Structure 1
Amino acid sequence: MTVNEERAEAIRWIQAQMADYELTMVELDAAGCFEPPPPPPAPPPPAPVCYRNAEGLTWDGQGEMPSWLKRAVNAGQSVEFFRVG
């Protein structure tokens, strides 16, 4: 079935539903059927940066510690040395 055939079938189905329930275009419009959909929700803000090294690599403190920070800690540096703010 082509897109045009599917569309025509959908229109026939809608017309049949309108006839079965005795709905008018005015009633559908009043019910908000022709309003544009609401915009999608905004993405969550990025997690704040908690740790940063001299190269600008960052970590928000969530999840597994990144390799750059693991290497620094294994070399004897304190995690707190990289804390931002």
Structure 2
Amino acid sequence: MTGNNERAEAIRWIQDQGCFDPPPPPPPPAPVCYRNAEGLTWDGQGEMPSWLKRAVNAGKCVEFYWVG
């Protein structure tokens, strides 16, 4: 039991020293730029999602799904 107590004391000491900064907050979510009628979205970053690829291949214009 002494080992657990020593460990807890060591953890408290390290936390009191301020050796570790709290983790940064997560980045804000990217704004939605494209949305379809089913509510699927894409922020315009990375590869175009399959739902939008299928629509474009079927003849729809990408701008049709633009929501700004």
TM-score, with normalisation over the residues of structure 2? 0.71
Gaps of 5+ in 2: none
User: What is the root-mean-square deviation of aligned Cα atoms in Å?
Assistant: 2.9
Gaps of 5+ in 1: 12-32
**2:44 equivalent to 1:61:** yes
Larger Rg: 1
Aligned-pair identity in percent equals 71
TM-score, with normalisation over the residues of structure 1? 0.58
Q: How do 1:25-44 and structure 2 match up within 5 A?
A: 34=16, 37-44=20-27
Q: Which has the higher contact order (CA 8 A, sep 6+)?
A: 2
- How far off is 1:35 after superposition? 5.1
* Cα distance in 2, alignment partners of residues 70 and 34 from structure 1: 53
Residues matched between the structures, number: 61
